[in-house]
A and B are shown apart, each in its own frame.
Chain A
Amino acid sequence: MASIFDEDLALTKICGEFIDLTDDVNLVFCEAIKQYMCCQMNEYDNYIDQIRNLESKGDVIRRQTESRLYTEKLIPESRGDLLGLIETTDDIIDETKNTALLFSVEIPDIPLELRNEFVSLAKICTEAVNEVLVAFRIFFKSPESVKNLIQPVYDKEKLADKQAAKIKRLAFLDKNLPLSQKMHLRYLAHHVDCIADRAEDLADRLSIAAIKQTIKA
């Protein structure tokens, strides 16, 4: 099947760069959380700087792409879908950056027994994002393949919900923790889990956009 970008290779290239950048943010985030849980704060801060830079670059690429979609009257019939996909991908970057910043700003005290649980949660969310980015890339070349590729995103998102619930349960069952610290841990688990929710949002949009492309073809 023909791609919606067959006639515009430059735009395909920009979108590819945007996906690469989201992938980088995702990988850096997971490494950053591992470092935080090992109390390697210098390493953690370096990762935060990387995420900030990537996010700013992402905003520039997003605005350029949006402007290009309109000014050059490209693929008018698919323009709205593509805009939505780009904005939802940008939401993943924003959520990841904001969550990474929470740890840096609020320096939460994570009990030893919960540290690996947080690392597991971050890994699951990273996997969810990775899966949806694979589907997004394929969408440009073969929209009919998207359907099979997004199911793992939903599976990972459910797994992330479970892992976040586990952390919250463990925190609230701990009789030695003050209520405010339990609330802090719940808040952090919720925010990390939200990254998988944003991946799910993108999967939902991709699924609809892919169906529309398939029908058109």
Chain B
Amino acid sequence: MKPLFGRTKTLEQKSADFLDVTIEASQVLLTGISHYLNGATEQFEDDLKQITVLENRGDNLRREIENQLYTETLIPESRGDVLALLENIDNITNQCKQILMELSVEIPVITPEFHDGYLHLAEKSVKAVEEVVSSTRSFLNFPLMIEHSLNKVYFWESEADRLSETLKRKVFRTTGLELSHKFHLRYFALHIELLADKAEDVADRLAIYSIKRSL
């Protein structure tokens, strides 16, 4: 099977850059959460600035790719699929930024007993993102490899689900916490878990697109 973009090299480069942005945003998210939990406020705010720049860059790249696909009438048979794919991947970067933004705005009090829970949850969600980006690269360049990496996305997504549930159970069974505080902690667990769900959404689309391409 041929690479999707064939001879359209600039498009191939832009898509690679767009995927790099997604990976970078997920790494900044991890660092940001770690800084937040350790009370490193200045570094955390730097992470937020960095992820905001990445998100803007991702938006610009997505729009450039979309414009090029339409104005130069490239890969008309797969254009709709590629557009939907890009928009779903962009949701991942947006979610990364959203999590750091919410931490910055709402400054939730996360006591040390929950730090590991949040970090591990974030790590698993980011693994789901890394795998789905790798699957997308396969879809664009080496479609035969895609099935193997899609399976990993589903694995890390279910791991993120499991860890999020464990964390929320621990929160709601901790005595001495106000119910409102428990809600706040649940909210952040949910939003980090959503990152893995967004990776899964991309994986579901990739699964169908890759079947369509193979026909």
Contact = CB atoms under 8 A, between A and B. Distances in A.
Interface stretch (B1-9, B46-54, B67-75, B176-184): B176-184
A70 B211 contact: yes
Interface string A38-52: 000000000000000
B212 interface: yes
A23 interface: no
A106 interface: yes
Given A67-B207, A181-B179, A184-B179, A73 B172 contact: no
B105 interface: no
Interface in A35-86: 63, 66-67, 70-71, 73, 83
Interface residues of B, number: 16
B183 A180 contact: yes
B207 A63 contact: yes
Given A106-B186, A180-B180, A181-B179, A66 B208 contact: yes
Given A178-B179, A180-B183, A181-B179, A106 B215 contact: no
Q: Which 7 A-B pairs have the closest CB atoms?
A: A180-B179, A70-B211, A180-B180, A105-B168, A106-B172, A105-B169, A71-B211
Interface of A: 63, 66-67, 70-71, 73, 83, 101, 105-107, 178-181, 183-184, 187
Given A105-B172, A106-B186, A183-B183, 8 more contacts: A66-B208, A71-B215, A83-B208, A106-B182, A107-B172, A107-B173, A180-B180, A184-B179
